[in-house]
Amino acid sequence: MRYRTGLGLAAMLCLAAAATAEAKTAGEPASADEARTAARFERIADSPPQLRMFLQAMPKGGDLHNHASGSVYAEDYLRWAAERGYCVAADSHRIVRPPCEAPGSVAARDLASRDYAAYSRAIDALSMRNAALPDFDRFFASFDGFRAVSADDAGRVVAAARELAADDQVAYLELMSMPRSAQGLLDAAKASGQDGGDPDALLAVLAPLLPAAIAEARAELDRDEAAFAASHACASAAAKPACAVEVRYQIPVPRHRPPAQAFAAMVFGFALVQADPRWVGVNIVGPEHHPVAQRDYSLHMRLFAYLKQRHPTVPLSLHAGEQTLGLVAPRELRYHVREAVTVAGARRIGHGVDIAYETDARAVLERMARERIAVEINLSSNAAILGVQGARHPLRAYLDAGVPVVLATDDQGVLRSDMTHEYQRAVQEQGLRYAQLKQLARDSLEYAFLAGDSLWQGRAGGARVDACARDIAAPACAALLQASAKARLQWRLEQEFARFERGQR
């Protein structure tokens, strides 16, 4: 980021000498503070209020699966709509642009004060509040309800996501958000008349448009970052907590669009990641059960592979297996996770709910474990959209197979959730204990698409790399922390855990 976030390196190293004595090094047992914290966790794990307070204060590392627009709560969107003079449609309760004309729509600024019942219905329409779950159609329809606001102010959306993360002890976000400048490429792909079957020819159409689109995306983010830094006093001693939340971006590819447009979004994403380190990956999003998404699934994986050959360093985190028996025909459950791994070369899998239905699921799990391909688990999302929760959820199957697992929010505003609630569900529904939660938090940074080397030799939380093995303040370790955004955030997390565990007395 272009402004100061979190503890500066010098401040981190000043704290290091005191923290090193308490930090766990290779081969040592858990510290007394960690053991005491785990014991307290066991005492309060069956009390939802006490567990919530414990987990609210617990450091959680990163949120690697977060759709930026879906992370904002409906109340915020309605407030922004009121400030902009937007309207709320009387029939659908969606936010629409002016003019506001009765009886078709009402001014958003009048809703809360003059018609609470309509205001409440609008919140329900823009989220999953009061939904009879599961309801995948309502979930995806929610985004259409606030798109008029979210599409107009991406910077404000990201600021809200950072504020929520700061409140929830989340230090790092990977946000899925599409810059407006991509639209020209999607339009050109549509006008080309191609079906995605000849990527060389389609790439030739798109390549001349890329430099301008990339330049505008970077300029747009520059403006948004500057506005955020100013509004939150990030360069001052009075910086707000959200300034300390590191943010990187993924480009979302719309899987339910015609394949030429999906390919155009991929091309834009790969080019942007290569051009600017603030963008760190490419994803594919949208309802996986959509008939176009089903029809083109294997084509999408081949197109990703095509671009990976040209840009091998660009990481992919792909939504795959966000479906279940009954939602789609059994044949559609057999190959999605496998092809995302073996064909597209994904480094992380989003959701992976249908893993048990995959052909030779054990081999897929073994490969993910062997190649350290992490799975992003979204418990509230999977319950609300698919009805998969509790013992039916494959989180335990991934852990038992040795696959790296991270917890994520997906769309916390739409789902009326937060990261603390995801951790609480992991305890109450999946039976995870404190040591496992701590590992998940560490792995959320280990498998983040952050630049630089890891602080850890192997398993996150195990042996530190040689440069930092004995003394985190040693010159060689200081050089690593200076060069590696990943290692800096990992060390920050260790300090946060040390403070958290000291407080559990």
**Mean of pLDDT values over 95-124:** 93
Q: Are strands 172-176 and 105-107 parallel, antiparallel or unpaired?
A: unpaired
**Mean of pLDDT values over 114-134:** 94
User: Residue 23: helix, strand or coil by DSSP?
Assistant: coil
At residue 126 the predicted structure's pLDDT band, cuts being 50, 70 and 90, is: very high
Which one, of 177, 178, 158, lies nearest residue 226 by Cα?
Answer: 158
CB 11 within 8 A of CB 17: no
Peptide bond into 259 cis (omega under 30): no
Q: Side by side, which strands form the sheet with 95-96? A: 95-96, 87-89, 105-107
Q: What is the pLDDT of residue 10?
A: 52
Q: Which residue has the tokens 């989220």?
A: 127
Of the given ranges (24-28, 122-126, 407-411), which has the lowest mean pLDDT? Answer: 24-28
Sequence ranges of the domains in the chain: 9-57+462-502, 69-150, 158-446
Q: What is the pLDDT of residue 113?
A: 85
Q: What is the pLDDT of residue 465?
A: 97
Q: What is the pLDDT of residue 8?
A: 57
At residue 346 the predicted structure's pLDDT band, cuts being 50, 70 and 90, is: very high
Which residues on neighbouring strands pair with residue 249, listed in sequence order? 175, 279
Q: What are phi and psi of 254, to 5 degrees?
A: -75, 110
CB 304 within 8 A of CB 318: yes
Residue 231 half-sphere exposure toward CB, CA atoms < 13 A: 14
Please report, in angstroms and rounded to a whole number, the separation of the first and last CA atoms in the chain: 36
Q: What are phi and psi of 302, to 5 degrees?
A: -70, -35
Report the percentage of the chain scoring pLDDT > 70: 94
CB 395 within 8 A of CB 426: yes
At residue 402 the predicted structure's pLDDT band, cuts being 50, 70 and 90, is: very high
Cα–Cα distance, 221 to 216 (Å, whole number): 9
Assign 3-class secondary structure to 409-434.
CECHHHHCCCHHHHHHHHHHCCCCCH
- In a 10 Å sphere around its CB, with 0-12 CB exposed, 13-18 middle and 19+ buried, how is residue 220 labelled? middle
Q: What is the pLDDT of residue 24?
A: 40
In CATH, the number for domain 158-446 is: 3.20.20.140
**Mean of pLDDT values over 469-489:** 95
Name which residue leads in pLDDT, 18 or 315.
315
| DSSP string of 256-280, one letter each residue | TS-HHHHHHHHHHHHHHHHH-TTEE
Cα–Cα distance, 490 to 171 (Å, whole number): 10
Hey, how many other C-beta atoms are within 10 angstroms of the C-beta on 130? 10
Hey, how many other C-beta atoms are within 10 angstroms of the C-beta on 360? 10
Q: How high is the mean pLDDT of the chain?
A: 93
Q: What is the pLDDT of residue 114?
A: 86
Q: What is the pLDDT of residue 145?
A: 96
Which residues on neighbouring strands pair with residue 453, listed in sequence order? none
Which one, of 265, 290, 125, 277, lies nearest residue 196 by Cα?
Answer: 265
E strand residue ranges, 71-134:
87-89, 95-96, 105-107
* pLDDT tens, residue by residue, 243-252: 999 999 999 9
Q: What is the pLDDT of residue 1?
A: 38
Q: What are phi and psi of 126, to 5 degrees?
A: -95, 10
Of the given ranges (8-12, 21-25, 237-241, 468-472), which has the lowest mean pLDDT? Answer: 21-25
Cα–Cα distance, 493 to 501 (Å, whole number): 12
**Mean of pLDDT values over 53-65:** 98
Cα–Cα distance, 126 to 372 (Å, whole number): 37
Residue 380 CA, chain-centre distance (Å), reads 14
- DSSP H or E segment with residue 64: strand 62-67
Q: What is the pLDDT of residue 22?
A: 38
- DSSP H or E segment with residue 231: helix 210-231
E strand residue ranges, 116-193:
172-176
Cα–Cα distance, 301 to 284 (Å, whole number): 10
User: Residue 154: helix, strand or coil by DSSP?
Assistant: helix
